[in-house]
Chain A
Amino acid sequence: MSEKLQYVGNPNSKAADGIEKVLGAAKYVGDMTLPDMLYAKLLTSPVPHARIVELDIKPALAVEGVKAVITADDFVDHGFFGWPVKDMYVLAYQKVRYVGDPIAVVAAESEAAAAAGVAAIKLKLEELPVVSDMHKALDPHAALVPLEPQIGDGNLLVTHVVRNGDPEPILAECDVVVDESYNFQAQEHGYIETEGVFAIPEPGGTVVVFANDQSPHINRDNAAGMLGLPAEAVRVIQPPVGGSFGGKDDHVYQFTGQAAKLALITGRPVRLVLSREESLATSYKRAAAHAHLKIGMSKDGVIRAAKTEYLADSGAYASQTPLSAWRASMHLAGAYRYEAATVDTKAVYTNNGYAGAFRGFGNTQAAAASEVAIDELAARIGMDPIEFRLKNCLRTGDKAFTGNTIDHEAGLAQCLEWVRDQSGWADKRKTLGFKSGDDVLKGIGVACYFHGSGLGGEGTDYARITLTVERDHSVTLQSGLTDYGQGSRTVFTLIAAETLGVTPERIIMLRPDTDTALETGPTVASRASIVGGNATKVTAGKLIQKLNMAAADLLGCSLEQITRHGEDFIGPNEEPLAIEAVIDHAFAMGLQMSSQGYWQIPVIHWDFEKGTGTPYYTYSFGAQVAQVEVVKATGKIQVTGVWASHDGGKIIFPKGAHGQLMGGITQGLGYALTEGFSYKDGYPQKKNLKDYHLPTSLDVPEMETHFVETNLAEGPFGAKNLAEPVMIAIAPAIANAVFHATTVRCRDFPISADWLKAQLA
């Protein structure tokens, strides 16, 4: 980059909205109250699969304090919604399909009255056979989970393929072939703030909803549709969100529709905030999955071909599984060169909760499977795992296993080299490692990844931003892209400040609000920095033209003669003009001091039928090393060191980026060791945060993090995506470290301590 940057990439830049948070003054949904408000509570399904025989709300209405009770019958088309597959209802219709499926909602004067109302509802269910094993979901005799088959074949939800040559004859020739299966349990997002909405009716039959969702415009459109209102009659505002990681969309859309309806019926504000138990049961998860990988190579360690299969358990509803299963398919053979590779993916319905978006979005499972398999290949010929990866990994100009060329600068090799050098890899591979006499076994392992940027073949990838200069000389920034903790508010602020040549303090980013922010597409796939960042840059570029015009008018010079020094505008006679004076003059000139900008990722094409094409326009890359200790007597794994390097292009908000990296690693560490959200015959086995163990400060070691700043011409100042991919390498790195420590190969996640103990006995 030739530009000299002041705020972008400055290690001292701070979170734009951090002050209210450290003061405890930030108002999350559950912190909002209004004098006349009602409290809403859900009735949810106690069983995995049943027909609703009777649902009588009259007894609930008779409970003192209860003001309204709603069911699917209160909505247009029973509140049918969903994208990309329409298969969900705002409240269960005809059937319940998982334990926790919402059936009815009560609004009452107090939480206690609402709970009494829920208890009074007369519900009669006729239980149906339960589909709980994804491998049996397509059996001809399996019960049908959706009301109608989705794509003409029982519980089949979607299929995806990759076809890049024919791996079979090459595999037959290969000296070494690894042919193994890898299994993954579901994972809970574990945001510390549970889901919540607060709906406020307005005169004239419209409603305002504060919702801790990720994509307010999609939420508004769904709610308006199910309420039978025009989109303008529903206004969704996003307050600060206490964590999401992909996890606060579909079911928050349900709650939004429910609370809005209750507010409209009662004419009073209605707040619905889930308890932790309700949240764990009702929310969608990372899909449980099964991967089968057959990868072959020559005896000197050149990877040649892969034939792979992937099965995802979407649970009761589709949610985002069709897309996350696609992303899994696009990454399943890993970040390596192949002569030929195929993928065959299926996603199926079962009665196990349901699966949706979660940081990593399918690549979490795909990368864990392929990175353990790659480690197995290296071990088979006794080659160092990092050397083996460096020998085969994708570099600029190589072709990915999906057949497309890596056009942009790829920093994967640099990431691998950094974690190798920084972790003391060479030494530790020798000094650590399995020693049969030891009670505590020690090892070190590596994994790496590539991760397609943005939505790719999943949809049109664009953002719109509005920047407005206010009369008090501040600049407001508006976007429908949201910040649920990942720092995009700060990223946009820094980019706008940089482009406009003003201090970040001058920029105020308004809360996402469907009434005032332009439709921006969903905030998913770590895309906010790239598309939102670019749109911000484009918009700021337009706005600065107007400021320059005012400055030139005031200084009586041409536009080209204007230069900048800090916030000041400098004319040909080098007299500095304060930005306040320029802004005042712009208003005096009657200039419209607001600009809108749009940016879209260059269009790429993937042929879903043929399984060929370009899935993403670019990739980010990374490598992580984990060091572990395994207690032989218990099988307990302690991670004692982590080194992580990520190629995310230009890093805009370094403090936030390091935090994203470490937070992602911590989620991945939980995925590796404790976070299995398992089901038995469709019944969830974990009910609260005592059962479901999120990593604590004692489970996570001190981490060393690093960014390789490759250049990406299309990124804002060269930025690629960050928030998601950083979580996906740590689970396989831990598994590979455990192999080094114990010689036991872990292929099922999370790695059970009891299982490991048995292997070591």
Chain B
Amino acid sequence: MEVTFKLNGEMVTCPVTQKLTLMRLLRDDLKLTGTKNGCEHGDCGACSVIVDGKLEKSCIYPARNLDGKEVLTIEGVSNPDGTPGDLQQAFLDAGATQCGYCTPGMIMAGEALLLQNNNPTRQDIREAISENLCRCTGYQQIVDAIQATAKSRLNGGAK
């Protein structure tokens, strides 16, 4: 079986099996290891990516369903020159990353929220990241980072 989909803006065609998940496809086959594995059961959100504008846990997303879809991973969020995108930079500025293991998934959760709601409240943000576990930060600086990015995008900042 093969699927053809858009990955971080580029068309790719990959062989897949019935059981292959999107996380395994990204990490093992395509060597895009920015998407993390924290549980492989849909319980932690470390593997979060965006599929067709929606936040998905790639560890429970069947790769065979990808045909014609558009996938965005942490590797597709940075600026074309490789510098951090605005939300990534906001994570740095707010101190929202400690061990960093939840960070890619959190950034994807933030991006997914901002696609749907360009002016979220702090409670909106907390709900949007509520399936992404972070054991280090206590979430507050992550909420700060997403909120700051929403504000700067509304004011005509990057992206």
Taking CB atoms, residues of chain A closer than 8 Å to B101 are 28, 191-193, 242-243, 485
- Do B43 and A242 touch (CB < 8 A)? no
Task: Encode contact with A along B37-77: 1 for CB under 8 Å, 0 otherwise.
Answer: 11111011010000000000000000000000000011101
Task: Encode contact with A along B96-118: 1 for CB under 8 Å, 0 otherwise.
Answer: 11111111100100000000000
Nearest residue in B to A30 (C-beta to C-beta)?
Answer: B37
Which B residues between 134 and 157 are near A, CB-CB below 8 angstroms? 134-143
Which A residues between 683 and 699 are near B, CB-CB below 8 angstroms? 688-690, 694, 696-698
Task: Encode contact with A along B15-49: 1 for CB under 8 Å, 0 otherwise.
Answer: 00000000000010001011111111101101000
Task: Encode contact with B along A1-29: 1 for CB under 8 Å, 0 otherwise.
Answer: 00000000000001101111111111110
Nearest residue in A to B34 (C-beta to C-beta)?
Answer: A24
Taking CB atoms, residues of chain B closer than 8 Å to A275 are 40
- Do B126 and A697 touch (CB < 8 A)? yes
Q: Does A445 sit within 8 A of B, measured CB to CB?
A: no
Q: Which of A14, A25, A660, A700 contacts B139 (CB 8 A)?
A: A700
Q: How far is the CB of B70 from chain A (nearest CB, A)?
A: 18
How far does the alpha carbon of A662 sit from the alpha carbon of B27 in the complex, in Å? 31
- Do A659 and B31 touch (CB < 8 A)? no
- Do A659 and B100 touch (CB < 8 A)? no
- Do A663 and B98 touch (CB < 8 A)? yes
The answer to whether A22 and B93 touch (CB under 8 A), given A192-B134, A663-B138, A698-B130, is no
Q: Does A666 sit within 8 A of B, measured CB to CB?
A: yes
Q: Which of B44, B88, B133, B138 contacts A22 (CB 8 A)?
A: B88
Nearest residue in B to A691 (C-beta to C-beta)?
Answer: B43
- Do B98 and A688 touch (CB < 8 A)? no
Q: Does B119 sit within 8 A of A, measured CB to CB?
A: no
- Do A485 and B98 touch (CB < 8 A)? yes
Which A residues between 649 and 663 are near B, CB-CB below 8 angstroms? 655-656, 658-660, 662-663
Q: Does B78 sit within 8 A of A, measured CB to CB?
A: yes
Q: Which of A25, A191, A662, A664 contacts B99 (CB 8 A)?
A: A191
Q: Which of B33, B37, B99 contacts A241 (CB 8 A)?
A: B99
How far does the alpha carbon of A666 sit from the alpha carbon of B140 in the complex, in Å? 10
The answer to whether A485 and B129 touch (CB under 8 A), given A21-B100, A24-B74, A689-B43, is no
- Do B91 and A22 touch (CB < 8 A)? yes
How far does the alpha carbon of A26 sit from the alpha carbon of B74 in the complex, in Å? 12
The answer to whether A193 and B31 touch (CB under 8 A), given A242-B100, A243-B136, A698-B126, is no
Taking CB atoms, residues of chain B closer than 8 Å to A31 are 27, 33
- Do B99 and A193 touch (CB < 8 A)? yes
How far does the alpha carbon of A25 sit from the alpha carbon of B92 in the complex, in Å? 14
Q: How far is the CB of B14 from chain A (nearest CB, A)?
A: 17
Taking CB atoms, residues of chain A closer than 8 Å to B130 are 696-698
The answer to whether A276 and B40 touch (CB under 8 A), given A240-B100, A655-B95, A662-B141, is yes
Q: How far is the CB of A62 from chain B (nearest CB, A)?
A: 25
- Do B127 and A698 touch (CB < 8 A)? yes
- Do B99 and A697 touch (CB < 8 A)? no
Taking CB atoms, residues of chain A closer than 8 Å to B35 are 24
- Do A192 and B138 touch (CB < 8 A)? no
Q: How far is the CB of A272 from chain B (nearest CB, A)?
A: 14
Q: Does A617 sit within 8 A of B, measured CB to CB?
A: no
Q: How many of A's residues come within 8 Å of B, CB to CB?
A: 56
The answer to whether A658 and B139 touch (CB under 8 A), given A28-B101, A485-B98, A689-B44, is no
Q: How far is the CB of B111 from chain A (nearest CB, A)?
A: 12
Which A residues between 456 and 487 are near B, CB-CB below 8 angstroms? 484-487
- Do B92 and A14 touch (CB < 8 A)? yes
- Do B129 and A24 touch (CB < 8 A)? no
Q: How far is the CB of A657 from chain B (nearest CB, A)?
A: 9
How far does the alpha carbon of A15 sit from the alpha carbon of B101 in the complex, in Å? 15
- Do A662 and B137 touch (CB < 8 A)? yes
Taking CB atoms, residues of chain B closer than 8 Å to A659 are 95-96, 98, 136-138, 141
Nearest residue in B to A241 (C-beta to C-beta)?
Answer: B99
- Do B92 and A18 touch (CB < 8 A)? yes
Q: Does A665 sit within 8 A of B, measured CB to CB?
A: yes
How far does the alpha carbon of A191 sit from the alpha carbon of B133 in the complex, in Å? 10
Nearest residue in B to A662 (C-beta to C-beta)?
Answer: B138
Nearest residue in B to A31 (C-beta to C-beta)?
Answer: B33
How far does the alpha carbon of A471 sit from the alpha carbon of B30 in the complex, in Å? 37
- Do B141 and A658 touch (CB < 8 A)? yes
Q: Does A702 sit within 8 A of B, measured CB to CB?
A: yes
Q: Does A185 sit within 8 A of B, measured CB to CB?
A: no
Q: How far is the CB of B83 from chain A (nearest CB, A)?
A: 9
Q: Does A33 sit within 8 A of B, measured CB to CB?
A: yes
Nearest residue in A to B140 (C-beta to C-beta)?
Answer: A662
How far does the alpha carbon of A33 sit from the alpha carbon of B27 in the complex, in Å? 10
Q: Which of B38, B97, B126 contacts A21 (CB 8 A)?
A: B97
- Do A666 and B139 touch (CB < 8 A)? yes
Nearest residue in B to A668 (C-beta to C-beta)?
Answer: B138
Taking CB atoms, residues of chain A closer than 8 Å to B140 are 662, 700, 702-703
Taking CB atoms, residues of chain A closer than 8 Å to B74 are 23-24
Q: Does A667 sit within 8 A of B, measured CB to CB?
A: yes
Nearest residue in B to A243 (C-beta to C-beta)?
Answer: B99
Taking CB atoms, residues of chain B closer than 8 Å to A569 are none
Q: Does A190 sit within 8 A of B, measured CB to CB?
A: yes
Among all A-B residue pairs, the 7 with the closest Cβ atoms: A24-B34, A485-B99, A21-B100, A242-B101, A662-B138, A24-B74, A655-B95
What are 23 residue pairs bridging A and B, where the CB atoms are less than 8 Å apart in the complex? A15-B98, A19-B92, A21-B103, A22-B107, A24-B35, A24-B73, A24-B103, A26-B100, A31-B27, A189-B135, A242-B99, A276-B38, A486-B98, A659-B95, A659-B98, A659-B137, A663-B134, A665-B138, A666-B139, A689-B133, A690-B41, A700-B140, A702-B140
Given contacts A22-B103, A191-B135, A243-B101, 6 further A-B contacts (CB under 8 A): A191-B101, A242-B100, A243-B98, A244-B99, A275-B40, A696-B131
Which residues of B are at the interface with A, using a C-beta cutoff of 8 A? Answer: 27, 31, 33-41, 43-44, 46, 73-75, 77-78, 82, 84, 88-89, 91-104, 107, 122, 125-127, 129-143
